Amino acid sequence: MIALHDRLRGGMWGLLVGDALGEPYVGLQPEEIPPEGEIDMKGPPGEWVAVVPPGTWTDDGAQALCLLDSLLTCGRFDPADFAARLIAWHDEGLWTVDGQAFGIGWQTKLAIQEMKRGVEPERAGNVRPEGKGNGALMRVLPLALWHRGDDAALVEDAHRQARVTHGHITNQVCCAVYCLWARRILDGQARGEAYEGAIAALRGLYGEDSPYRRSLEQEVRPDDPPVTNGDGYVVHTLNAARLALEETSYERVVRRAIQLGRDTDTNAAVAGGLAGVAFGASGIPERWRRQLRGRDMAEPLVESLVRWRLGS
């Protein structure tokens, strides 16, 4: 039985390691990705030029740390505080390894501009009403790890954190699915059982005839076999995690996510966070944890999360 503290640490380190592992392969087509056994922090062989040093987390990891920092500081989800941290990330490099934000998604950038103009945080994500990118899903895991409320409260906060940058209902639904799935894995359920339980719970919370339920059934289509081309569409990213979580170890999960190509850092961060919860921090290869840049900076925040959840 994997201990709760190991699962909590595993979730955060799994997200950060997956993000850093996937970063060198961003934009590559699946056929350009090296074989599974050759995927590593150093990136693909050949004439590829690194954007950042190997082992660096991207906007995915930095925004997740902003969210966790906000939750631990405020003791609740506070959209204004979270928005301020996103702005500080964008402008000042908060929770980046080298003090400068990079990899900023277009919708996130526009939403931050809206918030800097004074738009309320939970309305800023409507700057592109039809936008369905994965920028809210990629960072939401800390909410599930931190949350002590019931499923209804967790779902509402998952919706609210999405609305800060990605207001479309489908983005909110995918974040809710992911949080309920992560919660059940954190409680020790098997990955498949946890996913099925999350969907059943969400259907009960959404009822029969709400726009959220319609999005769940008609766009997310949670009972269908997962289909993805590895791109940044939020449903494809959730499906990438569903596919990758079929694997038998953290290492195999994140490598499978990367082999999907295209948005490799986010696919590996989203899948890697869940895999870290499932297999624990002890299941993440030590060599990858050593190669992760900024780990000394992130560790106190991760340990604060553990103390919060354990009540110590």
Domain range spanning residue 176? Answer: 4-28+59-310
Check whether 312 has a pLDDT greater than 80.
no
CATH number at residue 169: 1.10.4080.10
Q: What is the pLDDT of residues 183-211, one digit of tens each?
A: 999 999 999 999 999 999 999 999 999 99
Q: Is residue 176 part of a domain?
A: yes
Q: Is residue 147 part of a domain?
A: yes
Q: Is residue 18 part of a domain?
A: yes
Q: Is residue 12 part of a domain?
A: yes
In angstroms, the CA 18 to CA 256 distance is 11
Cβ contact 286:17 at 8 Å: no
Range 166-193 average pLDDT: 98
Percentage of the chain beyond pLDDT 90 is 95
Q: Is residue 33 part of a domain?
A: no
Structural domain count, the chain? 1
Q: Quick check: pTM over 0.95?
A: yes
Amino acid of residue 257: A
Could you list the residues known to form a binding site for Mg(2+), using ranges: 58-60, 263, 265-266
Tokens matching residue 6: 């190991």
Q: Is residue 48 part of a domain?
A: no
Q: Is residue 240 part of a domain?
A: yes
Range 150-167 average pLDDT: 98
Q: What is the pLDDT of residues 78-96, one digit of tens each?
A: 999 999 999 999 999 999 9
Q: Is residue 157 part of a domain?
A: yes
Could you list the residues known to form a binding site, using ranges: 58-60, 263, 265-266
Range 217-235 average pLDDT: 98
In angstroms, the CA 39 to CA 30 distance is 12
Residue 275: name the closest of 266, 284, 267, 264 by CA: 284
Is residue 144 within a helix (H) or strand (E), and if so which, with residue range? helix 141-146
What is the phi/psi pair of residue 112, to 5°? -65, -40
Task: Please name every residue paired with 233 in a beta bridge, in sequence order, or none if there are none.
Answer: 133
